[in-house]
């Protein structure tokens, strides 16, 4: 997965947006104002930090050397994934989909009235 594919994947979900609250080099991906991923897409080493349920975060870190505690983030709720080819792109896509789905499900009431339904998410339950 390259930077353009990572960006496209994060923006492929309904209601997702790219913002730059930490400066022009850090892309922050949100849904309903809630951050679910961030990355410095232009960095030499491509990484993405992803929001994660605490138990899953620990399990992913234990299973994959490329998954680390969130860099400069709450280590309990964030993982940083090194995108270096050691993880299949499908696994990275799934890791991106989970925090999007969680943030989407926690959207405020005004967003719920829009009746946006996420599509194309694989294995998001469980």
Specify if 118 maps to a domain.
no
Q: Is the pLDDT of residue 9 over 80?
A: yes
Q: Domain limits at 94?
A: 3-112
Specify if 122 maps to a domain.
no
Could you read off the pLDDT of 24-81 as tens digits, one per residue? Answer: 999 999 988 888 899 999 999 999 999 888 888 889 899 999 999 988 887 878 999 9
Specify if 70 maps to a domain.
yes
Q: What is the DSSP string of the chain?
A: --HHHHHHHHHTSTTEEEE-TT-TT-EEEEETTEEEEEE-TTSSS-EEEEE--HHHHHHHHHH-TTEEEPTTS-TTTEEEEE-SSSS-HHHHHHHHHHHHHHHHHT--HHHHTTT----S--S---
Q: Is the pTM of this model over 0.75?
A: yes
Q: For residue 87, what is the domain's CATH number? A: 3.90.1150.30
């Amino acid at each position: 997965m390259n930077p353009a594919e990572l960006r496209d994947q994060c923006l492929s979900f309904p209601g997702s947006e790219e913002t730059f609250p930490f400066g022009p080099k850090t892309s922050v991906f949100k849904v309903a104002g809630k951050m679910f991923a961030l990355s410095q897409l232009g960095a030499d080493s491509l990484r993405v930090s992803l929001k994660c349920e605490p138990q899953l975060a620990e399990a992913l870190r234990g299973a994959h050397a490329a998954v680390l505690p969130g860099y400069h983030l709450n280590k309990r709720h964030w993982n940083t994934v090194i995108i270096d080819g050691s993880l299949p792109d499908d696994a990275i896509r799934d890791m991106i989909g989970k925090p999007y789905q969680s943030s989407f499900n926690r959207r405020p009431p005004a967003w719920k009235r829009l009746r946006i339904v996420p599509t194309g998410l694989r294995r998001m339950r469980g």
